Amino acid sequence: MFIKPKKNTCANRICNIFQSQTLIIWTFLGWIGFLLCYPILASGQEEQASINLWTNTKEYTVKAEMSVPRPIGEIYRILTDYESIDEHISLFKVSRILNQQGETVRLYQATRMKILFFDIESESFLLIHQKPPEEISFKEEKGDFREHRGFWKLVPENGSRTTLIKYEVQSIPNFFVPRYVVIYLMKREVRKAFRELYHWIMGETETSRTELEITGKIVRQGISKINKHSLATEGK
């Protein structure tokens, strides 16, 4: 007579619990990976400018560059419009000039960036040296970083109709954050800021040109009316 062996219910339950916990852990890790990677994937889909990025994890440094079909003067004017930065670049909560003497500017900036469900906020008091229209360098005098410095360089291309924008920043926070997390956040925010800067440059220069065209048209119409009036007066 065949006797069916009893099932080891305790072992089966432990195995089922282990499998369920493993599934939950892998699902959780998958969502974390998606949330971390999504900003990079999304930015790659949306951006219209070709943005090149380089990183140096050892030195907490990120470099970026892109070409914009605008002359160097227009881009320099936008980069030095410090008090409009927080209206166009989402990283910045506040950007205010404290004082300016010639080409030396002292600037206060507050930033906010997201990682998963948390906001990381920081503030900096920057000393800026301008060399119009090719270079802007900055260094933190005090704030939430042990080291925060960098520069913008503008290089005319294609007969000055296009400008290559070069950017380099080195940021070492005062508070503890793993090195690779700092580089990841810097790379993500620089890419996003460059994309927003591109739209700012293209949008504002187009608006300025449209305003100039409208103003020129109004002036020409006014001159035409004056001429017609003068001719009519002379005919009388």
In this structure, what CATH number is given to the domain that contains residue 164? 3.30.530.20
Give the whole-angstrom CA distance, residue 148 versus residue 178.
Answer: 17
φ and ψ at 181, to 5 degrees?
-70, -40
Residue 224 lies in a domain: no
179-235 and 72-79 helices, crossing angle to 10°: 120
Into how many domains does the chain fold?
1
Peptide bond into 133 cis (omega under 30): yes
**Residue that is written with structure tokens 């939950």 in the block:** 24
Domain hosting 80: range is 47-210
Specify the pLDDT at position 223: 52
Give percent above pLDDT 90 in the chain: 54
Residue 70 lies in a domain: yes
Residue 194 lies in a domain: yes
Give percent above pLDDT 70 in the chain: 66
Is 60 exceeded by the pLDDT of residue 216?
Answer: no
Residue 10 lies in a domain: no
With a threshold of 0.75, does the pTM exceed it? no
Mean pLDDT over 11-24 rounds to 56
Give the whole-angstrom CA distance, residue 64 versus residue 37.
Answer: 19
Largest CA distance in the chain: 133
Is 80 exceeded by the pLDDT of residue 228?
Answer: no
Q: What is the pLDDT of residues 115-162, one digit of tens each?
A: 778 888 999 999 999 999 999 999 999 999 999 999 999 999 988 899
